[in-house]
Structure 1
Amino acid sequence: MKKILALTIAVVLTFAMFTGCTSNTSTSGKDGKVIKIGIFEPASGQNAGGGKQEVLGMRYANTVTPTVTINGETYKIELVEVDNQSDTSKAKTAAQKLVSENVSVVLGSYGSGVSIAAGSIFKDAKIPAIGASCTNPQVTLGNEYYFRVCFLDPFQGTVMANFAKEKGCKKAAVLTQAGDDYSAGLGNYFAEAFEKAGGKVVKADFQGGETDFSAIVSNFLKENVDVIFAPSSIETAPLIIKQARTAGIKCPIMGGDTWENETIIKNSGDAAKDIYLSTFFDENDTSNAAAANFVKGFKDFLKADPKNLTNNGGTEGVAAVSALGYDAYMVAVEAIKAANSVKGEDICKAISKVNYNGVTGNITFDSNGDANKSMAYIKTIENGAFKFLRTQSVQK
């Protein structure tokens, strides 16, 4: 009897071991077949505001396209969300949770640092990830399982440097967060392009969580700079803007894509004057029919649930990262259909061949997994709202 019991336990343990290692990422239940898409985004920490807006775009996309057909069968698309807490030290744990949930593909993250930190986790698990707004080149470099639908920081930094030079700026202050891949990277790309165009650059950095910038901006005032470029988090940007204006700095203050968030306007108050930023999308751009349809549907989605409006910063404005989140989801769906499979390896191969007309423009990928994009939107803040100024490209 003991031998039979021991044999039975051994068989059960062996079966459990192999089923735990299976690469089949679909499930069957009372609602039929299910394929899981992981959402790897910050719901807390300094990038929570942008992360929530990016997730809203993904959730809305899921309401538009809630199913996908694989091998003639309809699969319900289930979103599995994890909070990477805007923290590179916690990003790997969040990524591993998605792997344990047997997702077929991952979307995210807002914040290049956490995307870079999690990249090896997804690569080792052979689960493709599609970033929406993570712009640092290191996100996809050397990782065939990471893609993105946005432009990159070398391009964005050059766009803003050229814009500053065209406004007549000759001496720029570049203020970045030490150790932050996005802030430090974008700041350096701006500085390189600005100096290449004949300008002079004064650099300074600060630590994460720092709130007092009075000494830094006072030095900028002494240096007589005529533009400040400060790519930073949503939480930090208003502090820099207000303290710079309080110190008597009247020159333009510029940032990158993270600055397109309504809370920056609210928290900067009257100091938000002569502010400029680069971003990926403008809701008033009527040149793309897909974009127009998205804007209408997304606004209805926001108004249908008070929680959605809260996560969007309390307004009906359509953030560029929401549009990118939508596109990232739709690219994933296109790849799943093309792969005709739930396996990450198959989907990864299909992503590289996707040609999708998204709301942020046509999306194809280069050999590094980066979207082939060459245009940015320049916006300012006017009368308490973001205002589109122009599009800007970089000649290659």
Structure 2
Amino acid sequence: MKKRKMTLLAGALALLTAVAAGCGGNKAQTNDIKIGANFELTGGVAQYGQSTVNGIKLAIKQANAAGGIMGKQLTLVVADNKSEPSESANATTKLITQDKVVAIIGPAASSNVLASAQIAEDNKIPLLTPTGTNPQITVANGKVRDFLFRSCFTDPFQGKIMANFATNSLKAKTAAIYTDSSSDYSKGLSKNFEAAFVKNGGQIVDKEAFLQKDQDFKATLTKIKTANPDIVYIPAYYEEVSKIVKQAREMGITAPLLGSDGWDSPKLVDIAGPAALNNTFFTNHYSSQDKDPRVQKFIAEYKQEYGQEPDAFAVLGYDGARMLIDAIKRANSTDPVKIKDALAQTKNLQLITGILSVDANHDPVKSAVIIELKDGKQTFKEKINP
């Protein structure tokens, strides 16, 4: 009997030891700050999501190497939204309810951010998109969304910048607009480009539309060619743009082709071909030709980490992560509400894409650049300050 009691006591002590070890393990596991990343790692715009996540990972790696925040390390929890709005909503819900993140970075595409916005609002979790440019992300029905932020410029700003470039630098009097009617991003840019171009005294001579995943654009390009505009504005993503540019040039359309930051991908040149992209221009967030030491240092660090030069999405991901890291540091808390308040108070934060301040609409005040493609290579054309 005595022997049995001793055996039971030993078992109980072993169980207590295991429980104590388990508690210690949980404590160690929770001694970090979980940040969610909701991005397009597969699907139609996977190139954007993958580049953006690379930039985010580098920023977090550097922050952790510098000691983390409040003595804690940052942990990035990544979810793939498969380039679909419904999957983006699911990913946001998972990151909040299951992974218990204190904030979310992403998604990349405006339509996927919009699908996640109300979920973040309802759960009072800050969501910061590094690349979503649709104005409704931060302001819906005339009201600022408390928990939504961005670290990139907006469609109204980007559309206006390109309209001014077309008028002032290219001396364009007429324009055709070719819109992806399945994309909120493309429709928003088209609307704002048209408003600014007409205000500048220009005339829109043709407006055409296509859908994502279309392959043959010749019918609508024929109408554009007949309209004979001075320039053609194509605010869309590289997958379709590359085919449009290639087919436009094959059909004899020689006018300057203008676009947006969605053009920025190595695959644009791979599909369209270097020659077809001559006399094309697009708005972007930074240029690798910028001689600013901070830009060149980042490029070198990114190359060392990934073996390739960063595109604009990688830079924006890096800057978006740094913006959130800065807010958590200033909040000195992992409370999502305090992080949200700190994000709203961001002012004169030095990032790779320039100095950033957050305005009353939770949008950044920052610069933009015009990139020209020459024989397949991006060249810096102009820098436009806000």
Query: Structure 1 length normalisation: TM-score?
Result: 0.85
Q: Which amino acid aligns with 1:299?
A: K
1:358 to 348, 351, 355: 351
**In the alignment, what sits opposite 2:373?**
381
How far apart are the structure 2 equivalents of 1:179 and 1:87? 12
* Code of the aligned partner of 1:298: Y
Aligned length: 351
- Report the secondary structure of 1:364's partner residue: strand
Q: Which residue of 2 aligns with 1:155?
A: 157
Q: Which amino acid aligns with 1:344?
A: P
Q: Which residue of 2 aligns with 1:68?
A: 68
* Partner Cα distance (1:155, 1:91) in 2: 26
Residue 286 of structure 2 corresponds to residue 281 of structure 1: yes
Aligned twin of 1:306: none
* Partner of residue 214, structure 2: 210
Q: 1:36 aligns with which of 22, 34, 37?
A: 34
Aligned match for 1:185, one of 188, 198, 207: 188
Which of 273, 292, 312 pairs up with 1:320?
Answer: 312
Mapping 1:19-168, distance limit 5 Å: 28-30=26-28, 33-66=31-64, 67-70=67-70, 74-100=71-97, 101-141=99-139, 142-166=144-168, 167-168=170-171
Instruction: Tell me which of 360, 373, 381 is aligned to 1:367.
Output: 360
Corresponding residue for residue 250 of structure 1: 254
Which AA in structure 2 matches 1:364? S
Distance between the aligned counterparts of 2:259 and 2:107, measured in 1? 19
- Find the aligned partners of 1:30 and 1:36 in 2 and give their Cα distance: 13
- 1:284 to partner: Cα distance: 2.1
* 2:177 matched residue in structure 1: 174
Supply the distance in 2 between the matched residues of 1:203 and 1:94 (Cα, whole angstroms): 36
Cα contact 1:41–1:83 (8 A) shared by 2: yes
Does the aligned pair in 1 maintain the 2:121–2:147 contact within 8 Å?
Answer: yes
Shift of 1:32: 6.7
How far apart are 1:292 and its partner, in Å? 2.6
The Cα shift of 1:367 comes to 1.4
Native 8 Å contact 1:265 1:381 kept in 2 = no
Offset at residue 31 of structure 1 (A): 6.0
**Cα distance 1:120–1:387, how it changes in 2: closer, same or farther (>3 A)?**
same
- Alignment gaps of 5+ in structure 1: 1-26, 304-315
Distance 1:43 1:83 in 2: 5
Once the two structures are TM-superposed, the CA of residue 290 in structure 1 deviates from its matched residue by 2.7
CA contact (8 A) 2:88 2:107 kept: no
The answer on whether the counterparts of 2:288 and 2:295 sit within 8 Å (CA) in structure 1 is: yes
Partner-residue secondary structure (3-state), 2:229: coil
Who is 2:267 aligned against? Answer: 263
Letter in 2 for 1:187: S
1:377 counterpart SS class: strand
CA shift digits 1:2-48 (9 cap, x unpaired): xxxxxxxxxxxxxxxxxxxxxxxxx9554671111111111122211
Match of 1:334 among 326, 338, 354: 326
Q: CA deviation at 1:343?
A: 1.7
Larger Rg: 2
Give the aligned residue type for 2:342. Answer: A
Q: Give 1:110 shift.
A: 1.1
